[in-house]
Amino acid sequence: MIEALLKKMVKVGDLTIHLPNGSTTKAGDGSGPPVTMRVNARGLRRLVANPSLGLGEAYMEGDLKIEQGTLWDLLEIVGKSGGRTPKRGTPLTRAKKAVKRTVQSVNDRIASRRNVAHHYDVGNELYKRFLDTDMQYSCAYFARPDMTLEEAQAAKKAHIGAKLNITPGMKVLDIGSGWGGMSLTLAKDHGAKMTGVTLSTEQLALAKERADKAGLSDQVEFRLTDYRDLDETFDRIVSVGMLEHVGAPNFQTYFETVKRLLADDGSAVIHAIGRMSGPGATNAFTAKYIFPGGYIPGLSEIVKAVEAAGLWITDIEILRLHYAETCKHWRMRFLSDPDIPLMFDERFRRMWEFYLCGAELGFRYGGHMVFQIQVAKKVGALPITRDYMFEGERR
Write down the pLDDT at residue 26. 94
Same domain, 192 and 142: yes
pLDDT at 93 over 90: no
Q: How confident is the model at residue 281 (pLDDT cuts 50, 70, 90)?
A: confident
Is the domain of 200 the same as that of 316? yes
Lowest-pLDDT range, 2-11, 81-90, 136-145, 153-162?
A: 81-90
Lowest mean pLDDT among 91-105, 147-161, 351-365, 376-390: 91-105
Q: What is the pLDDT of residues 227-239, one digit of tens each?
A: 999 999 999 999 9
Q: 259 and 193 in one domain?
A: yes
Mean pLDDT lowest for which of 85-99, 152-166, 369-383? 85-99
Cα–Cα dist 285/64, whole Å: 15
On the question of pLDDT at 110 being above 80, the answer is: no
Q: What is the count of structural domains for the chain?
A: 2
Domain that holds residue 26: 2-80
Compute the distance between CA of residue 93 and CA of residue 95 in angstroms, rounded to an integer. 5
Residue 270 included in any domain: yes
Sheet strands side by side (includes 193-198): 220-224, 193-198, 171-175, 234-240, 262-275, 368-376, 312-319
**Residue 294 pLDDT:** 87
Check residue 245 and report its DSSP letter.
Answer: G
Give the three-state DSSP class for 126: helix
> Does residue 94 belong to any structural domain of this protein?
no
pLDDT(301) > 90? yes
Domain assignment present for residue 89? The answer is no
Q: Which residue has the higher pLDDT, 257 or 92?
A: 257
pLDDT band at 222 (very low <50, low <70, confident <90, very high): very high
Q: Mark whether 49 and 125 lie in a shared domain.
A: no
Segment 167-188 mean pLDDT: 98
pLDDT at 152 over 90: yes
Q: Are residues 113 and 61 in the same domain?
A: no
Query: pLDDT tens for residues 14-32?
Result: 999 999 999 999 999 999 9
Are residue 341 and residue 390 in the same domain, yes or no? Answer: yes
Are 263 and 232 within 8 A, CB to CB?
no
- pLDDT of 133 reads 97
Of 183, 196, 178, which is closest to residue 121 (Cα–Cα)?
A: 178
Rounded to 10 degrees, the C-alpha dihedral 23/27/33/34 comes to 0
Same domain, 64 and 107: no
Mean pLDDT value across residues 109-116: 54
Same domain, 323 and 380: yes
- Whether residue 101 has pLDDT greater than 90: no
Question: Is residue 38 predicted with pLDDT exceeding 70?
Answer: yes
Q: Is residue 212 part of a domain?
A: yes
**Tell me, what's the pLDDT at 118?**
46
Say yes or no: 138 and 53 in one domain.
no
Is 90 within the bounds of a domain?
Answer: no
Establish if 87 belongs to a structural domain: no
Least confident window among 101-105, 145-149, 245-249, 305-309: 101-105
Residue 283 has pLDDT above 90, yes or no: no
For residues 123 and 190, membership in a common domain is answered with yes
Average pLDDT over the chain reads 91
Q: Which of 31, 46, 80 is at the close of a domain?
A: 80
Of 80, 110, 143, the residue that ends a domain is: 80
* 8 and 110, same domain (yes or no): no
Query: The CATH number of the domain where 336 resides is what?
Result: 3.40.50.150
Confidence label for 69 from pLDDT (cuts 50, 70 and 90): very high
Q: 42 and 150 share a domain?
A: no
What CATH number is associated with residue 7? 3.30.1050
Name the band, by pLDDT with cuts 50, 70 and 90, for residue 82.
Answer: confident
Model confidence at 114, pLDDT cuts 50, 70, 90, reads: low
In the listed set 19, 50, 80, which residue is the last one of a domain according to the structure? 80
**pLDDT score of 3:** 81
Q: Report the percentage of the chain scoring pLDDT > 70.
A: 90
Beta strands 368-376 and 312-319 are antiparallel
| Domain assignment present for 25 | yes
Query: What is the predicted pLDDT for the residue at 309?
Result: 98
Residue 76 lies in a domain: yes
User: Distance (Å, rounded) from C-alpha 354 to C-alpha 52?
Assistant: 12
